[in-house]
Amino acid sequence: MSGRVKGCFDSLNARWPWLKIALPTVIILVFIIRTLAPVGDSETVRLAPMQAHPAVPERPARSFEGKKLVALTFDDGPSPATTPRLLDILKEQQVPATFFELGSLVKRNAWITQRALREGHEIASHTMWHQNLARLSASAAQGDVNEANAAFVEAIGYVPALVRPPYGSINGETWKSFGGATMISWSVDTLDWKYRNTESIMNNLVNQISDGGIVLMHDIHATSVDAVPSVIAKLREMGYEFVTVSELIKMRGVSVEPSKMYARFAP
């Protein structure tokens, strides 16, 4: 050590002798805190999709023998104006659903997401801001997904294993931002956002439904929620049993791949 540096240390020691103890103590404490702290957002985003989580809720055993299966899915919520009423309907009808939620709304309405999960529904991601990921750079898409994942971790404690890209739009690079989550599209587009009446929703449903189908609706529209009892009644009349998307995947024995988008799980 040079004489100048040694002289500096001697001067500091003479003025503040407690620094000899305090400084090493602070360094040790910082190291311990960083070691024991929860995983940061970026690491959580990378790890959570591969960890165990309640993607398939526990419900009383049901018989699916000879039944056609369908998954009702709802996008763009949760909305305090409409989603709670939808949850009331689903609870009364004993129908499970999969909610593809926006991280931005989960942050503001975590209580609705938590209620849906508590009542046996599946929570999935619809990204943070409903951007067209195919039009974003890889880094911008990753940022959107990371922000959404952090919102889900804060609200329910894990990153959903399923994700639906807004508009079903993805490109060769931005799908990687989902970090292993399974991409889900739909086989039945009710166009409930466009034709906001039960008759149109029902016509589109009947014309497109098939065994293993995934029905797309939106829980942010009151007219969509109004149509749900008719949708449930019609599908039951046609011999369908309701399951979540993860249950549908499991029952059909499909090994999903992160680079593929799935619209239906046929027998």
Please tell me the predicted confidence (pLDDT) of residue 162.
97
Note the pLDDT tens digit of each residue in 85-115.
999 999 999 999 999 999 999 999 999 999 9
* 24 & 58 share domain: no
Q: What domain range is 65 assigned to?
A: 46-262
**Is 238 a residue whose pLDDT tops 70?**
yes
pLDDT confidence band for 2 (50 / 70 / 90): low
Distances (CA, A) of 29 to 17, 38, 40, 132, 170: 20, 16, 19, 44, 45
Adjacent-strand bridge partners of 241: 69
Whether residues 31 and 152 fall in one domain: no
97: domain CATH number is: 3.20.20.370
Rounded to whole angstroms, the Cα distance separating 240 from 250 reads 17
Q: Are residues 199 and 178 in the same domain?
A: yes
Write the pLDDT tens digit of every residue in 14-62. 665 655 565 555 555 544 433 333 333 333 333 333 333 444 455 666 7
Instruction: Note whether 194 and 223 are same-domain residues.
Output: yes
Query: How confident is residue 217, by pLDDT bands cut at 50, 70 and 90?
Result: very high
pLDDT in the model for residue 30: 43
Q: Among all residues, which ones are annotated catalytic?
A: 75, 218
**Could you tell me if 213 and 126 lie in one domain?**
yes
- The rounded distance, in Å, linking the Cα atoms of 258 and 37 is 30
Residue 246 falls inside a structural domain? yes
Average pLDDT (204-209) is 98
State yes or no: pLDDT of 10 exceeds 90: no
Q: pLDDT-based confidence at 6, cuts 50/70/90?
A: low
Report if residue 200 sits inside a domain.
Answer: yes
171-200 b/e with 16+ CB inside 10 Å = b? eeebbebbbebbbbbbbbbbebbeebebeb
For residues 194-216, give the mean pLDDT. Answer: 97
Looking at the structure, do residues 128 and 242 belong to the same domain, yes or no?
Answer: yes
Which residue has tokens 């104006």? Answer: 81
Q: What is the mean pLDDT of residues 199-226?
A: 98
pLDDT average, residue stretch 130-134: 95
Same domain flag for 86 and 124: yes
CA–CA distances in Å: residue 251 to residues 49, 69, 155, 195, 243: 20, 9, 28, 33, 10
- Do 74 and 12 share a domain, yes or no? no
The pLDDT of residue 4 is: 56
Let me know if residue 96 belongs to a domain. Answer: yes
pLDDT digits (tens, 9 = 90+) for 156-197: 999 999 999 999 999 888 889 998 899 999 999 999 999 999
Domain count, the chain: 2
In a domain, 171, yes or no: yes
Q: Does residue 19 belong to any structural domain of this protein?
A: yes
Element (H, E) at 205: helix 198-208
What angle separates helix 110-118 from helix 83-93, to the nearest 10 degrees?
10
Return the structure tokens found at 267.
Answer: 């027998």
15 and 101 belong to one structural domain: no
- Non-local (6+) Cβ contacts of 58 within 8 A are 120
- For residues 91 and 205, state if they share a domain: yes
Dump pLDDT digits (tens) for 53-89: 444 455 666 777 778 999 999 999 999 999 999 999 9
Cα 214 from Cα 230, distance rounded (Å): 17
Q: Do 145 and 233 fall within a single domain? A: yes
Q: Say whether both 29 and 88 belong to one domain.
A: no
In a domain, 254, yes or no: yes
Name beta bridge partners: 242. 70
SS3 string of 164-175? CCHHHCCCCCHH
pLDDT band at 3 (very low <50, low <70, confident <90, very high): low
In a domain? residue 267? no
Give the span between the Cα atoms of 230 and 161, in whole angstroms. 30
Q: Does some domain include residue 77?
A: yes
